[in-house]
Structure 1
């Protein structure tokens, strides 16, 4: 057993690196523990609106950036389904390797333990993590940043958890799947679907031009329980491309994503603190999380450092509770509940009503819809935006917002 650290962080993904980096910047003695090395390449892509990453001073870490950003909603906006909705807002994709390197550099030379945690014991003054190897490690407080599948974080059971799934391909194609220099946030055009598939949970295309003849195309489902399978999404992606006379000529990379959208908030009275997916920080409406990690990690780290320095007698339970109060303020909890309510309504929408909803959503002022998707709107503003969206929506969407799928479209 090593000496007791100030903070021990579980995990080695974006959430873990974000919070470790900020804790180190506060001068705390930090250990990190994960089942693999922190420099193992991250498998998934991470998108973010450029204005958000610019506000964080990290625009240099974008690997790609697009000004031509569009969506297609078919009959939900224009009857022929051909005219795109122009977003007039830059979108970026992180260079995963550059983001990972930047965070690791900020983490300094901390002791990163490659171990598998099996049990966590709360000993009062500190917390003990017992590993499969037989080794044990102690810290004033432990932060679980190992992802939404963590078995250590206690949370209420509200029934099946809805998940968003995606299957994507980076590759070369017989003809461009999107225009040169274009990013497609959502392509909901359904002309490639059979009548039976139109009755199934809907999905959309998320696609972008990487340049030099390389494109990324990803079929993405909205949250549903159980989630659409990767095989089903792959079938839909290939059918969508085939409908447009496009073949995949070379697969450079395949991406499979599956993450919860309505995971209940953790019990904020527990002695284990969490961050990232294990703390339910995935945006219930958009699925984004990296921006929130980068914004909220410094605040959490500063408060923990202050508490440890000023009140050395605080035990693990007290420190964890302080952390939970910072991570999930009453306002953030209320915003999360509003987003979850909205998600529950969207999950009940059929494909036609969904297209109509999103066509209306992106007619909101840009600062409203972008702030909604990034979870940066204050609670009062968020309520106003949701009321404005309701007032702008067609009656079929309003009925769905009130009653869910119990009221059919007339």
Structure 2
């Protein structure tokens, strides 16, 4: 019998498996796909965030010229509303291959066992967890027993249970890595959000807003991605692709060569899992996506060691601890009360933003990035304390125009319920 079975093969699974194994625990990873299979999506992170983790060497690209556009996008180049908002912070793009290899090598050095198969059923007996799975090259189901199961299989978790609290909003994006007839962004530039909508008709501007996320990859290659902040149901890929092509065409740019198409969809406001269940989760399965920014890699890197240490400490202190007790130790470390309150506050804010019109969103983000850099950065990376987060939100309200303030003050739908959850997460 092993100590921990991790279900999944993505960044979350490899991150937590490596940390658990380095704590001296016997760990196995069960996945339907080969953990060495290259991940399809790109992963960005703020430079300060990756530097604090000592992992800057895992970046493929890094930009110091970082900006956003929240203006009207009028055809007049002298229009000050069309000027960029400069962020003054580096932004990086992970080298996916290098990041994957970083975790794989740590897993293998620490003795992680690899199992190939589709997880099917989870049961608990005699204080242990049993997982039945369909091996990749066998007709009959196999069974593996572990002291604890960690579900890191993503947003559509295999085993993790969570409450039903209404529609789940998805951030959807369609992107292209390739070459273009003209640069879609300035040389050496990274654009976090371009909300200019001058390529759309007045009727189209009443539809859910989308923005451009783009970067210069060097040597004539660029990555451009049309993104919807969050919506339930999500904006279809076809609509995002159409908007991207129209945005580029409006600026005299066409796609010349496609190296890679990216289709990205993940939930932004998943409810937290049931924290009393005898199975633990990590990553998307544990609702670790930042509800306001959509980022998760920084959280995986920061919180995996904390979670692994808590599970290992409980096992050392109580060698006979059962799955429920080990999971409880893990849940307490992963989602302590302050983080649960912050998560509720972020979800409350996202619910507000999903109701904002395109002009309100542009005004909101103009005000948001006018906050002191430490405040907006800490908000987006979830590194502020609860008190600091509340202070940032109060400052944002105080400086925002009345069109945004009215949108923040009115309570509609489940907003009041989400706000009250901050008091009793």
**Could you tell me the TM-score, scaled by structure 1's length?**
0.96
Structure 2: tracts of 5 or more residues without a match: 136-140, 414-425
8 Å contact 2:18–2:107 — kept in the other structure?
A: yes
Say yes or no: does 1:233 pair with 2:233. no
The reply to whether residue 205 of structure 1 matches residue 202 of structure 2 is no
Unpaired runs of at least 5, structure 1: none
Aligned to 1:222, what secondary structure does the other structure show? strand
CA-CA distance at 1:24 after TM superposition: 1.1
Shift of residue 68, structure 1, vs aligned partner? 0.2
Number of the residue aligned with 2:104: 104
Are 1:28 and 2:30 counterparts? no
Residue among 72, 77, 83 paired with 1:75 = 72
Q: How far off is 1:75 after superposition? A: 3.5
- Post-superposition offset of 1:148: 0.5
Q: Which residue of 2 aligns with 1:119?
A: 121
CA distance in 1, matches of 2:243, 2:411: 26
TM superposition shift of 1:210: 0.3
Equivalent residue for 2:130, pick from 128, 131, 143 = 128
- 1:142 matched to 2:149? The reply is yes
Structure 1 match to 2:285:
278
Q: Distance in 2 between matches of 1:76 and 1:214?
A: 24
* Deviation (angstroms), 1:311: 0.3
Do the aligned residues in 2 keep the contact of 1:170 with 1:253 (CA within 8 Å)?
yes
Report deviation, 1:156.
Answer: 0.5
Matches within 5 A, 1:6-405: 6-75=3-72, 80-108=80-108, 109-133=111-135, 134-403=141-410
Aligned-partner Cα distance in 1 for 2:119–2:49 = 35
Could you tell me how far 1:74 is from its partner in structure 2? Answer: 1.1
State whether residues 293 and 380 of structure 2, in contact with CA within 8 Å, keep that contact through their aligned partners in structure 1.
Answer: yes
- Shift, 1:28, TM fit: 0.5
Indicate if the aligned counterparts of 2:151 and 2:158 stay in contact, CA closer than 8 A.
no
How many Å apart are 1:309 and its aligned residue? 1.3
- The farther-off stretch of 131-140 and 372-381 is 131-140
Per-residue CA distance 1:229-249 (angstroms, 9 max, x = gap) = 010000000000010111110
1:76 and 1:355 in contact (8 A); partners too? no
Q: Is contact 2:66–2:86 with CA below 8 Å preserved after alignment?
A: yes
Going from structure 1 to structure 2, the CA distance change for 1:192 and 1:302 (only over 3 Å counts) comes to same
Question: Secondary structure of 1:116's partner?
Answer: strand
Separation in structure 2 between the aligned mates of residue 116 and residue 75 of structure 1, nearest angstrom: 50
2:324 alignment partner, SS class: helix
> How many angstroms apart in 1 are the aligned matches of 2:241 and 2:58?
30
In structure 1, the residue corresponding to 2:230 is in which secondary structure? coil
| 8 Å Cα contact 1:75/1:356 also seen in 2 | no
Moved more, 190-199 or 73-82: 73-82
Residues 349, 404 of structure 1: 8 Å contact kept: no
Q: How far is the alpha carbon of 1:79 from its aligned partner?
A: 5.6
Partner SS, residue 408 of structure 2: helix
> Could you say what the CA RMSD is over the residues aligned between the two structures, in angstroms?
1.4
1:368/1:5 CA distance change after superposition, 3 Å: same
Question: How far apart, CA to CA, are the structure 1 residues paired with 2:168 and 2:282?
Answer: 19
Q: CA deviation at 1:375?
A: 0.2
Secondary structure, aligned partner of 2:45:
strand
Aligned length, in residue pairs: 403
